[in-house]
Amino acid sequence: MMQPASSVMLGLALLRPLLGAEVAVAATDPRSAGNRALPEEADELPRATVKRRRDFAAGRVAAHRAMRGLGGPVGPVRIGSDRAPVWPEGLTGSISHCETACLAAVARSDRVRALGVDVEEDAGLETDLVATICSETERAWLSGLARAQAGRMARLIFSAKECAYKCQYGQSRTLFGFEMLEISPDLSTGRFEARFAAAVPPFAAGTRLAGRFAIGAGLIVTAMSLPA
């Protein structure tokens, strides 16, 4: 099945410059029925809905393509007891999907400690979610923007928090809510910082993680890596 370049390939084009050359990236179309997870991966979702299995397969296929991009063998990305992906020995990675694109990033763990990737549709965040997701400081920043832009930038903040959460989770194995990270976007450079509001070992309170973002082709893409 042909994949729509407007979402999949352009989503990949947005992601590639956000990460270093030591990271391999790939994309798939989550709407395609042609994506196939490895048997040992697919067996971990025996009772999942058709959509969940399709999204899962798209993510695993993207991860496999990224592994090939590193020049190494393809191994299964299983589901851990905490529901997070379990990467093959010697690798670290991140997977994200929205309705129209699925992105994956993979690196060797002796080069990169952790990765975070998120992709969202470029649409305004629902007003009733802004107070849940955004801090007082973030809402103050949004209030200085035009209304139409503010909704989209609230979505950017959501994406950046998802990206940073994934990146830190590989190190902390700690679950937390949106209030734990505060995002400072720089729209002129396409960069953002995620600051910890409290200590989440090994991250001290006030620790700032640096990420990058790109917006285009109807997508918002955020990415972050921690060097080994």
Q: In this predicted structure, what is the pLDDT of residue 13?
A: 94
What CATH homologous superfamily does 8-118 map to? 4'-phosphopantetheinyl transferase domain (3.90.470.20)
Per-residue DSSP letter, 18: G
Rounded CA separation 47/120 (Å): 26
Domains 8-118 and 122-227 share a fold: yes
Q: Give the per-residue pLDDT at 72.
A: 85
Predicted local distance difference test score (pLDDT) of residue 6? 60
pLDDT recorded at residue 115: 98
Q: Are 202 and 114 in contact (CB under 8 A)?
A: no
pTM of the model: 0.94
- 122-227 CATH, one of 3.90.470, 1.25.40, 3.40.50, 3.30.310: 3.90.470
- H or E stretch including 58? helix 50-69
Question: Strand, helix or coil at 213?
Answer: strand
Domain residue extents for the chain: 8-118, 122-227
One-letter amino acid of 13:
A
Nearest 10 degrees: CA dihedral of 63, 65, 67, 72?
Answer: 150
Q: Walk along the chain (228 residues) in steps of 10 and give the mean pLDDT of each run.
A: 62 95 96 91 88 93 97 93 94 96 97 98 95 97 94 98 98 96 98 98 98 96 98
What letter represents residue 64's amino acid? H
